[in-house]
C-alpha cells in the first residue's frame, strides 16, 4: 500500500559499476536531497561492482566487496559485466548449471534492493528509476520484464538513459546553474562524449534539448587506463575548448571514471572562466532519483525533456475522422525515435495527395508537407485504400511509406508503394 512505500530510488546501472541514490518520502512532498547509498562500511565508496558471486560452499549469491573478496580467495564463481551480458543475452555456467544473463541481473537487483530496504527500516519502494548509458527499446523491455519478476511493475519503475538522468539532475539544481546552456563531458570505457543542454523558455512547456557529440575516436579510454597523462590532458583541453567555443554555457559538468585523479584538474580550472565547473561520480544516480521524485510528486510538468534519442517534432496527417476534418497524430514530441511512428489505413476521396504537418517544438514553427501520389491506382472513388506508415531512421529523419492495399474482394492491390522523407 502507498503509505508503506516511501523509498524513492535512482539506480545508475553501468557495465562495470553501479551507483544508487535514495530518498525517503515523508508526508506528500519531500524537498530532501538524494543521498548516495554505499554498499560497504566505507562511506566514501559509492561504486558498486555490477557483478555477482556464488559461494562455492553454500551456493549463496553475494554482491559488492564481499563478492570481490570471495573471488580473490577463489571461494566462489564471480560474474561481472552483467549489463553487457544482459544486452547480449549471454549464458554462463556456474557450478555445472547454465544460467542466463537475465537471471544474473535479476539476482543482482534482488540483493541490492533488499539491502537498501533493510537500510531504510524495511520500507518498500515507492518509485525506482534505473538509468543506463544507452537505452534501446529492447533493453528497456527486457529490464521491465526483470523488474516484473521482482514484483515491481511499470507503475513503480522507469528506465531512462544517462542523458535524461542528467537533464533531471540539472533542472533540480538552483536556477543560477542553468541560466544558459549546460555542458557535460562524460569519460568512461566508451571514450569521451560531450552533451550540451539547451533550454527553450519562451513558451510553456519549456523544452530541455540535448545535443550529443561523440569524441571517443579522439579521446579513448585507453589513454586514461594506459596512463598517457600528458597526451590525454592536451587532447581533452583541445576538445573542451572547441566544444565550448562561442557557446553560452553557465555550468560544465564532468562525469565518468575517466575523470578520476587529477590529470584534468588544470583544464577544468581553465574552463571556470565565466562558468561553474562540477566534477562528480554520482550525477546520473542522483538525476535518476530526481526523476523518480518528480514522478511521485510532480513539480517538473512545465518541462519537456528531449535527450538525443527523442524526437522534437509532432507529425500529423490531415484526414477526415469521427465526422470532421482533423490532424491525426502519427508521432509526438518526446517519443523515442526508435519506437515512434504509426500505421494508419485511409481511403482517398477525390484526391491523390496526402497533407502532413510537421510542428517543431524547438523552433516553434510548423511546415506543411504534401505527398503527391504519382500515377495512383485508377479505381472507383473511395476504393483506393492505402496503408500509411511513419517511421524514423534517426531523430531527425522521418520517412513516410504509403502502400496500396486494394479493397478486399472488390479490387485487388496492385502492390504500388510510395516513399518520401519528411523534413524535420
Q: Distance between terminal CA atoms of the chain?
A: 45
Binder among 345, 363, 412, 423 for other proteins (CB under 8 A): 345
Cβ neighbors of 338 (< 8 A, separation 6 or more) are: 136, 137, 309, 392
Q: Does 382 bind other proteins (CB under 8 A)?
A: yes
Task: At 34, list the grid cell.
Answer: 538524494
Largest separation between any pair of C-alpha atoms in the chain: 80
Rounded Cα–Cα distance for residues 193 and 185 (Å): 6
β-bridge partners, 210: 197
Instruction: Tell me whether residue 338 or residue 405 sits nearer to other proteins (CB atom).
Output: 405
Output the CA angle 89-92-98, nearest 5 degrees. 105
Binder among 165, 292, 333, 348 for other proteins (CB under 8 A): 348
Binder among 322, 368, 375, 378 for other proteins (CB under 8 A): 322
Binder among 72, 323, 368, 374 for other proteins (CB under 8 A): 323
Q: Which helix (H) or strand (E) holds 112?
A: helix 101-119
Q: Does 412 bind other proteins (CB under 8 A)?
A: no
Instruction: Tell me whether residue 100 or residue 389 sits nearer to other proteins (CB atom).
Output: 389
Site for other proteins in 103-142 (CB under 8 A): none
Binder among 81, 310, 385, 395 for other proteins (CB under 8 A): 385
Q: Does 374 bind other proteins (CB under 8 A)?
A: no
Binder among 42, 57, 410, 415 for other proteins (CB under 8 A): 410
Rounded Cα–Cα distance for residues 34 and 289 (Å): 7
Q: Three-class SS of residue 72?
A: helix
Region binding other proteins by CB under 8 A among candidate stretches 28-36, 116-124, 143-151, 342-350: 342-350
Rounded Cα–Cα distance for residues 203 and 54 (Å): 55
Region binding other proteins by CB under 8 A among candidate stretches 92-100, 127-135, 339-347, 392-400: 339-347
Burial annotation 128-159 (CB, 10 A radius, 16+ → b, else e): bbbbbbebeeebbebbbebbeeeebeeebbbb
Q: Does 272 bind other proteins (CB under 8 A)?
A: no
Instruction: Tell me whether residue 176 or residue 409 sits nearer to other proteins (CB atom).
Output: 409
Q: Does 370 bind other proteins (CB under 8 A)?
A: no
Instruction: Tell me whether residue 312 or residue 316 sits nearer to other proteins (CB atom).
Output: 316
Cβ neighbors of 64 (< 8 A, separation 6 or more) are: 39, 40, 48, 49
Q: Does 328 bind other proteins (CB under 8 A)?
A: yes
Binder among 8, 291, 354, 424 for other proteins (CB under 8 A): 354
φ/ψ of 6, rounded to 5, equals -130, -10
Least Å from the CB of residue 109 to other proteins: 39
Q: Are 240 and 267 in contact (CB under 8 A)?
A: yes
Rounded Cα–Cα distance for residues 285 and 17 (Å): 12
Alpha-helical regions (H) of 183-324: 221-225, 229-244, 265-270, 283-297
Least Å from the CB of residue 408 to other proteins: 4
Binder among 248, 347, 370, 397 for other proteins (CB under 8 A): 347
Task: At 122, list the grid cell.
Answer: 524495511
Least Å from the CB of residue 130 to other proteins: 36
Q: Does 320 bind other proteins (CB under 8 A)?
A: yes
Binder among 153, 222, 353, 394 for other proteins (CB under 8 A): 353
Instruction: Tell me whether residue 240 or residue 354 sits nearer to other proteins (CB atom).
Output: 354
Q: Does 274 bind other proteins (CB under 8 A)?
A: no
Q: Are 329 and 316 in contact (CB under 8 A)?
A: yes
Instruction: Tell me whether residue 16 or residue 355 sits nearer to other proteins (CB atom).
Output: 355
Least Å from the CB of residue 382 to other proteins: 7
Whether the ω angle into residue 73 lies within 30 degrees of 0, i.e. cis, is no
Binder among 97, 118, 241, 351 for other proteins (CB under 8 A): 351
Interacting residues toward other proteins by CB under 8 A: 317-323, 325, 328, 344-355, 382-383, 385, 407-410
Amino acid at each position: 500500500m502507498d503509505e508503506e512505500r516511501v523509498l524513492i530510488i535512482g539506480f545508475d546501472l553501468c557495465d562495470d559499476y553501479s551507483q544508487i541514490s535514495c530518498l525517503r518520502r515523508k508526508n506528500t512532498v519531500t524537498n530532501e536531497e538524494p543521498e548516495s547509498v554505499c554498499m560497504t562500511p566505507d562511506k566514501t565508496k559509492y561504486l558498486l561492482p555490477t557483478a555477482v558471486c556464488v559461494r562455492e560452499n553454500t551456493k549463496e549469491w553475494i554482491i559488492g566487496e564481499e563478492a570481490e573478496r570471495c573471488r580473490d580467495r577463489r571461494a566462489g564463481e564471480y560474474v561481472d559485466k552483467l549489463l553487457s551480458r544482459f544486452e547480449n543475452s549471454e549464458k554462463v555456467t556456474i557450478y555445472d548449471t547454465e544460467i542466463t544473463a537475465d537471471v544474473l541481473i535479476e539476482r543482482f537487483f534482488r540483493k541490492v534492493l533488499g539491502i537498501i530496504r533493510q537500510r531504510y527500516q524495511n520500507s518498500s519502494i515507492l518509485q525506482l528509476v534505473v538509468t543506463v548509458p544507452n537505452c534501446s527499446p529492447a533493453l528497456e523491455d527486457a529490464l521491465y520484464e526483470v523488474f516484473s519478476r521482482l514484483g515491481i511493475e511499470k507503475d513503480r519503475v522507469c528506465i531512462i538513459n544517462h542523458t535524461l538522468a542528467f537533464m533531471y539532475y540539472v533542472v533540480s539544481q538552483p536556477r543560477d546553474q542553468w541560466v544558459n546552456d549546460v555542458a557535460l563531458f562524460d569519460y568512461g570505457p566508451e571514450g569521451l562524449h560531450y552533451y550540451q543542454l539547451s533550454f527553450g523558455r519562451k513558451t510553456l512547456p519549456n523544452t530541455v534539448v540535448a545535443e550529443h557529440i561523440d569524441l571517443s575516436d579522439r579521446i579513448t579510454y585507453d589513454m586514461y587506463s594506459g596512463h598517457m597523462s600528458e597526451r590525454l590532458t592536451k587532447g581533452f583541453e583541445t576538445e573542451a575548448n572547441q566544444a565550448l567555443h562561442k557557446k553560452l554555457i553557465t555550468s560544465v559538468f564532468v562525469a565518468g571514471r575517466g575523470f578520476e585523479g587529477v590529470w584534468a584538474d588544470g583544464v577544468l580550472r581553465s574552463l571556470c572562466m565565466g562558468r561553474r565547473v562540477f566534477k562528480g561520480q554520482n550525477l546520473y544516480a542522483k538525476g535518476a532519483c530526481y526523476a523518480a521524485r518528480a514522478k511521485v510528486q510532480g513539480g517538473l510538468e512545465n518541462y519537456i525533456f528531449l535527450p538525443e534519442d527523442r524526437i522534437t517534432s509532432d507529425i500529423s496527417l490531415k484526414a477526415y475522422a469521427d465526422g470532421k476534418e482533423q490532424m491525426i497524430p502519427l508521432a509526438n514530441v518526446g517519443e523515442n525515435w526508435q519506437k515512434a511512428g504509426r500505421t494508419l489505413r485511409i481511403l482517398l476521396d477525390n484526391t491523390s495527395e496526402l497533407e502532413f504537418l510537421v510542428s517543431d517544438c524547438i523552433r516553434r514553427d510548423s511546415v506543411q508537407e504534401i505527398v503527391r501520389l504519382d500515377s495512383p491506382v485508377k479505381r472507383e472513388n473511395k476504393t483506393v485504400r492505402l496503408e500509411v506508415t511513419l517511421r524514423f531512421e534517426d531523430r531527425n529523419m522521418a520517412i513516410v511509406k504509403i502502400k496500396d492495399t486494394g479493397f478486399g474482394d472488390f479490387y485487388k492491390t496492385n502492390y504500388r508503394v510510395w516513399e518520401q522523407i519528411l523534413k524535420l
